[in-house]
């Protein structure tokens, strides 16, 4: 498949949750791979929702308490590992603040996609940066709207105001994509090649090459 530029088109479907640290690690590595190969290929990236905990409270709970309750003593090792992973990517892993329901963030990511897939990809970055490195709460309406404004998404406050906006589309996307997989992040390249987890850039590069040769 070629794009209008004549370069091979690589379409990437990303299924992720906005509170999944490995999803952010995977995004960073995906972006590195894209930067290393954008002279060869054109890229089209589309984000799809996944909810690690659909019943998480909308009002939010203290992140550290939530991890301890859910994972027990293992949460300390998990935090140490993610701190190391984020450090390797030039970021500080911040477990302060709240965690909770991610539905509004997925509604917003869907809405951003209606204004351009490039804006959608940039919004995913802003949301993850805020949540994982700045102690922002993923369910905080003010934070969500600020992130949207930063990447040029218009009308986010009005869109989020109505809880039904984007709900049908997110639920349909959850059924279509989440039902087929057991964890995130999950990537489908050109509808054929699948990768899971926080893959290193070289694995994405190999897959781009394989997809482009089809």
The pLDDT mean for the chain works out to: 95
The 10s digit of each residue's pLDDT in 6-18 is: 789 999 999 999 9
Domain 8-212, CATH class in plain words: alpha beta
C-alpha–C-alpha distance, residues 131 and 97, integer Å: 9
Residues in the chain: 214
- pLDDT (tens, 9 = 90+) of the chain, 214 residues, equals 655 667 899 999 999 999 999 999 999 999 999 999 988 999 999 999 999 999 999 999 999 999 999 999 999 999 999 999 999 999 999 999 999 999 999 999 999 999 999 999 999 999 999 999 999 999 999 999 999 999 999 999 999 999 999 999 999 999 998 888 989 999 999 999 999 999 999 999 999 999 999 8
Beta strands in 31-174 (DSSP E): 41-49, 61-62, 98-99
206, 110, 100: which is closest to 153 by C-alpha?
Answer: 110
The bridge status of strand 61-62 relative to strand 98-99 is: antiparallel
Which two three-digit tokens encode residue 3?
């794009």
Handedness of CA 40, 46, 52, 57 (dihedral sign): positive
């Amino acid at each position: 498949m070629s794009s209008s530029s004549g370069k091979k088109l690589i379409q990437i479907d990303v299924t992720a949750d906005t509170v999944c640290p490995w999803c952010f690690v995977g995004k960073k590595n995906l972006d590195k791979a894209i930067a290393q190969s954008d002279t060869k290929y054109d890229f089209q990236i589309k984000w799809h929702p996944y909810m690690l905990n659909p019943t998480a409270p909308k009002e939010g709970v203290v992140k550290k308490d939530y991890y301890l309750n859910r994972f027990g003593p293992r949460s300390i090792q998990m935090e140490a590992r993610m701190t190391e992973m984020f450090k390797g990517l030039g970021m500080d892993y911040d477990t302060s603040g709240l965690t909770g329901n991610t539905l509004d963030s997925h509604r917003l990511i869907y809405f951003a996609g209606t204004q351009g897939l490039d804006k959608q990809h940039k919004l995913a970055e802003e949301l993850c940066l805020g949540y994982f490195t700045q102690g922002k709460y993923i369910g905080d309406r003010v934070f969500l709207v600020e992130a949207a404004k930063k990447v040029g998404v218009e009308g986010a406050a009005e869109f989020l105001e109505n809880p039904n906006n984007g709900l049908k589309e997110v639920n349909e996307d959850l059924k279509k994509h989440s039902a087929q997989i057991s964890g995130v992040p999950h990537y489908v390249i050109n509808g054929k090649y699948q990768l899971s987890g926080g893959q290193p850039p070289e694995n994405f590069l190999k897959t781009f090459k394989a997809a482009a040769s089809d």
